Structure 1
Amino acid sequence: MGEHEIIVWSKDRKLNWSDFKAESNPAVFEDSHSVIKYRYTWVVNSEKIGDTIMFFIENIQLFVEFHPLLSWVRNSIEQDKLLNHEQGRFDLAELIKQEKISKLCEIFYGKKFPTRGSNEEQRKQFAKEDSGNMIGSEVKKLESEFQSQSNEYDLQTDYGKNIEKQFEFDLTFDKLRK
């Protein structure tokens, strides 16, 4: 992995402490910090109906990414339980993605949206921009849900220190790897 690469969630790859490349922040209470984001791609096509160009969205793909250069751990705290907890956060983002991707697609697939612009070329360009903004708005809602569930995960597991609760989450996350 190059130093500027991100790690896309995969059932075959777990996080290692060496993936946490940022300097720890002594001003915060956390022993580690993971930056996990959603990235998306899509295809936008357009169709002329009379004098109007309509666009439609297809092939939305959503990826869960871990950002090593923004993630850190305190060197004195590198414990297996904490690493497992951080992996759980990454897994939680993937779980939410898998649960919500069909709803995200439902919002857009099979629908046509009007474009703006004064000529055909502008309309096609705006279709690309507008479709990205529309999907981005829905992904922001997904990120907000992830943040909320991630906070609840931290509370319930006490950042991996509550072994019983962490084990319950681990059983759920293990299903992602099958």
Structure 2
Amino acid sequence: MKSYSTKANANRAAKSQGLELGAFEVIEIDGRFIFQAISSDLFDEAEADAEFQALQERQKELLAITVEAIVGYNPQLLLPAPVPVFNGLTYCPECGIHLNNGYGSDVAHPEGDIYCLACDHVLAKGKLVKSSVDNPVQLVWEIADRLWGARRKDIIAECVRQGVAYNTARTQYQAFYKVKSKEAK
């Protein structure tokens, strides 16, 4: 077996042999280092998959028992097909909550994204491309001056809330900040 002068060289050699970190160990023998594959009988993937499947089945049983205990068993109960609430979605793909519970767009998402109120998952991207106010540059400077000392994110969010396009608010705030920071020196 080949030995290496440093532990790092032995690690590199093991990785070049296709072994992943944790699948080998580096051993020092008389000031030299060798790597040795760790026995794979410590983890049986098939056994782990079987345990996982059994756990999922048990969770389904418990859920059915819980639902029956709360709602009661009613074989005549026919649930209607889910009706899409927003953009073809009925449930949030991230947290699974029904979108009747809420989705929105506000200053938490300055780009105008539509998001789930439960988990903040973005359902639809949206940006205000054109400002809806007259003279948006002046408005950004006024807001930035009024909120000087607040976080950049909050100032830009306020500009977007008042109808300034997101990218205009970012660009103009940066110009404002450059001038304002020079005044303070």
> TM above 0.5, one fold?
no
Larger strand proportion of the pair: 1
Larger Rg: 2
TM-score by length of 2: 0.21
Larger helix proportion of the pair: 1
